[in-house]
Amino acid sequence: MQESGLEVKVYVDLLFGVNLAMDLLILWAAGKLSGSTIRFPRLLLGSLLGAGYSLVIFLPVSGMWTSIFAKIACSFIMVLVSYAPLSLRGFARATVFFYLVSFAMGGAVTAATLMADQTPAYLQAWKQGGMSRDYFHYGWLIFGVITALVFGYGGVFFIRKNWLKQNLLNDLTILLPGQKLCVRALLDTGNQLTDPVSQNPVIVVQAGIMQKYLPENIFRAIESEEEETILHEISGLDREWAARIRMIPFNSVDKAHRLMVGFRPDGVELRNRNKKRVTRKAGVVIGLVKRTLSSEGTYQALLHPDIFHED
């Protein structure tokens, strides 16, 4: 094959292999980002279709097969084959991420080759109709693999974290006598704790963040695993705080029939993702635990689902 006096050797196996590897990575990353069910045999089948389509440039009449409509149709088929069955919304979501990852990988590879001052081999391949080993460098392929892995793992983490922040995290303000404390709270549908006497919902809060707001007796009670010690410490509180204290029975993974020390605040205020303020003047109990609720420090409290029912 010649162009402008330059002879280029074409290797169909190399073109097919590179496209197969890149398509597989793109489909995997797109599946992770879109939340689609990932099955390796299906991803491989979709990648084989994409790699096979890259060979249509060798057909005697390839104009129709390399048109924009044919390329879009091929991408749709690859997505359907890789993640089926899909709802219409799931198909649209997977397709969008398929194109986003494809464009990101293409841009990353182009940048890598230009920074290395090398002729972009994949551009040469598509222009000439094949792949030249003389111009092919595995460095940009590795860079493309790294890009896909970053999107597949880092992108999923970012999306989940952002979704969590927008949908489940709330700003919680605990109102205490003469002061207030603001924390981040996670809406936990698994939190069904209620005060056994009043049946009011319990908000579970890390005790450590409230140390300077509560009497020392409460923290000594929280540290103790013995019911007698807990009751002894609580009995040492003054009348005002003793009236606020609630003992909440609960079960943990390692031990059943335990007691959680809680108290009744003056009230709580919540601001959710819609910036709607929910205020409860009464009917809320704060349950205190000594363990850390979020290892990343994302939140310090667990909300009861009923907390959003206003008084």
pLDDT tens for each residue of 62-114: 667 778 888 889 889 999 999 988 888 889 988 988 888 887 776 666 665 66
Single out the residue in 122, 138, 166 at which a domain terminates. Answer: 166
User: Do 173 and 149 share a domain, yes or no?
Assistant: no
pLDDT of residue 124: 40
User: Do 157 and 14 share a domain, yes or no?
Assistant: yes
Tell me which residue has tokens 């001052």.
117
Direct distance between the N- and C-terminal alpha carbons of the chain, in angstroms, rounded to an integer? 80
User: Do 172 and 162 share a domain, yes or no?
Assistant: no
Single out the residue in 113, 145, 166 at which a domain terminates. Answer: 166
Of 116-125, 138-147, 195-204, 258-267, which gets the smallest average pLDDT?
Answer: 116-125
- Residue 304 is part of a domain; what is its CATH number? 2.40.70
Instruction: Find the domain containing 92 and state its range.
Output: 2-166
The neighbour count for residue 108, using CB atoms within 10 Å, is 18
State both tokens at 129.
């109709």
User: Do 158 and 207 share a domain, yes or no?
Assistant: no
User: Do 15 and 60 share a domain, yes or no?
Assistant: yes
User: Do 192 and 272 share a domain, yes or no?
Assistant: yes
User: Do 138 and 194 share a domain, yes or no?
Assistant: no
Name the pLDDT band for 125 (thresholds 50, 70, 90): very low
User: Do 14 and 93 share a domain, yes or no?
Assistant: yes
Mean pLDDT of the chain: 77
The β-bridge relationship of strands 277-280 and 267-271 is: antiparallel
Region 230-236 average pLDDT: 85
Is the pTM for the entire model greater than 0.85?
no
Single out the residue in 148, 166, 184 at which a domain terminates. Answer: 166
User: Do 53 and 153 share a domain, yes or no?
Assistant: yes
pLDDT of residue 206: 93
User: Do 156 and 233 share a domain, yes or no?
Assistant: no
Tens of pLDDT, residue by residue over 265-307, are 988 888 876 556 666 667 899 999 988 898 888 889 999 888 7
User: Do 85 and 150 share a domain, yes or no?
Assistant: yes
User: Do 205 and 246 share a domain, yes or no?
Assistant: yes
φ, ψ for residue 133 (rounded to 5)? -65, -25
Tell me which residue has tokens 């060979």.
55
